[in-house]
Amino acid sequence: MAHIAKYKATSVGHMLAHYRRDKSSLGRENIDPTRAKNDMVVAHYKNKDGELVVGRVVPREGEPNWGTVERRIERVNEAQKAAGKRATRKDAVVMADVVVTLPDNVRKGDEDRFFRLTYWYLSKKFGIENMLGGYVHKDEVLKDGTPARDHMHAPFTPILDGRFNYKKMCPRAFYQSMHKELGDYLESCLGYRPEVELGEDTRARRVYTDKSVDIDKVRGAVDKAVVEPAQQEAERIVAAAKEEAAALLNDAELRKAELVAEIAGKEGDLAELHSRLEDVKLDIEDEQDRLECLRQRADGVARDVEELRPIAADVRGWEATGKAERGAILDRIAARCAGAARAARAAIEELGDRIWALMRPKKPKTEQRSLDDVMREATEVARASEALSRNHVAPTNSRPRGQAR
C-alpha cells in the first residue's frame, strides 16, 4: 500500500534528516540502531552501457538536505521572475513524500527489486529531475519490539510546468489510480501482483489495528486512511464547484457582452424605424392636405357644373323656340355666363360682355346671325368652363422632409 504526505519549507530539513537516518533520528524508540545497516537508498544512475537505471546507491554524507530543495526553489523563482510571474509562495508545498509499504505477498528475495521497481514507476509519474531518492527503512520496530514492515520513502519536489504545483501534479484522480497503476506495473515486471491495493474494509481495519509508532508523521498518514480520502474528496468537490462556478461566471459575462451589443444594435434599428415613422407621418399629412385640396376642387367643379347645367339646357332649347322666346333665353344665358365668368376667369366676363353686345343689334337681319354666333360662343364658354374645372390643379405641400409644421 502507499500514501502521500506533503510538506512546506519549514519541515523539509527535518524530514530529509529522518530519511537519511542522521544520528539525531537514531535515538528514537521506534528505530533499532542495530538493524540500520539493513537500510538502503535507491536512485537513478547510468550503468556501464550508459543506460539510465534504478539501483542501490551510496549518497553523499548529509545529502539531500534543505539546501537541495532550496536551490530548486531558487531556480524556479528565477525563471518565474524572467517570465514576469510571481515567485513561489512561502506557504507552498515544496516537497512531497510517497510512502510505500512492502506487501505481505511479495516473495522472499523480491523485496529489494519491489522497491527499485516502485521507485522507477514513481519517477516516471513525477519526473526524474524532481526525485530526491528512495529511502528503504528496515530498522523500525513496533512497541513490543517486533520488526515493523519494511517501507520506502520517495520524496520529490512537485515542480510542474516550471513552478511548484502540488495540487495539479497530485490531483484526486492520481490518488484513485496510483495503486492500480502501480499494481499493474509490478505485475508486468514480477510476474505476479503484489497487494499494493487495499479495499475500504481492509483500510479501515488497518487504521484501528496497526500498533506501529510513526514519529515523523509520515506513516501517520496510514492512520488517516479513512479521513484523508474523505478530505480529498471534499477538496475535489470544492475545487470542481469553484471551476464550474468560474466557468458559469465566464459564460454569464460573455452572454452579457453579447446582449449589450445586441441591445445597442436594436437601439440603432429602433432609431432608424422612428425616423422612418416620422417620414411616413409627414407623407400621410401631405396626402391628407392633397386630398383636402382635391375635395375642395371637386366641390368647386360640382358648383361650376350646377351653374353651367341651366346654360346647357337653354342652349339645347334654343333651336325649338321661336324668335319671341329666344330673347328671354338669351337673357338667361347671358346672366348665367356672366356669373360663371366672374367665378372662373376674367376671360369669361369678356365673353359675357360680347354676348350682351350681340343681344342688342340695330338691324333685325344682322340680329339673327349674331344670335347664332352668340349661341356658338355660349357653347364654347360652357365647354371652356368645364375644361377649366377639369384642369384645375390642387396646391401641393412643398414643406421639406423633417421640417416642423
Mean pLDDT of 129-137: 95
* pTM more than 0.75: no
User: pLDDT (tens digit, 9 = 90+) per residue, 299-326?
Assistant: 777 776 776 777 777 777 766 777 667 7
Shared domain for 63 and 197, answered yes or no, is: yes
Whether 210 and 313 share a structural domain: no
Taking the C-alpha atoms of residue 388 and residue 24, their distance in angstroms, rounded to an integer, is 131
Q: What integer pLDDT is reported at residue 384 of this predicted model?
A: 58
Helix (H, G, I), strand (E, B) or coil at 361: coil
Same domain, 196 and 94: yes
Cell of 64: 539531500
Query: Would 83 be classed as within a structural domain?
Result: yes
For the ranges 75-84, 190-199, 337-346, the lowest mean pLDDT is seen at 337-346
Rounded to an integer, what distance in angstroms lies between the CA atom of residue 375 and that of residue 354?
12
- Shared domain for 209 and 343, answered yes or no, is no
The answer on 302 and 195 residing in a single domain is no
What span, in angstroms and rounded, lies between the C-alpha atoms of 305 and 266?
A: 57
Would you say residue 269 has pLDDT above 50? yes
Note the pLDDT of residue 223. Answer: 53
- State whether 12 and 130 are in the same domain: yes
In Å, what is the CA distance from 305 to each residue of 310, 336, 385?
A: 9, 12, 9
- Structural domain containing residue 300: 294-390
Sheet order of strands, 95-101 included: 2-7, 95-101, 151-156, 134-137, 40-46, 52-57
* Residue 345 counted as domain residue: yes
Q: Are residues 313 and 195 in the same domain?
A: no
The confidence score (pLDDT) of residue 213 equals 43
Question: Do 207 and 222 meet the contact criterion of CB atoms below 8 Å apart?
Answer: yes
- Separation CA 339–CA 335 (nearest Å): 6
Residue pLDDT, tens place only, 50-94: 999 999 998 888 889 999 999 999 999 999 999 999 999 999 999
pLDDT at residue 145 in the model: 82
Kindly give the interhelix angle for 9-20 and 66-82, rounded to the nearest 10 degrees: 140
Residues 210 and 332 in one domain: no
Looking at 162, 188, 218, which one is the last position of a domain? 218
Total structural domains in the chain? Answer: 2
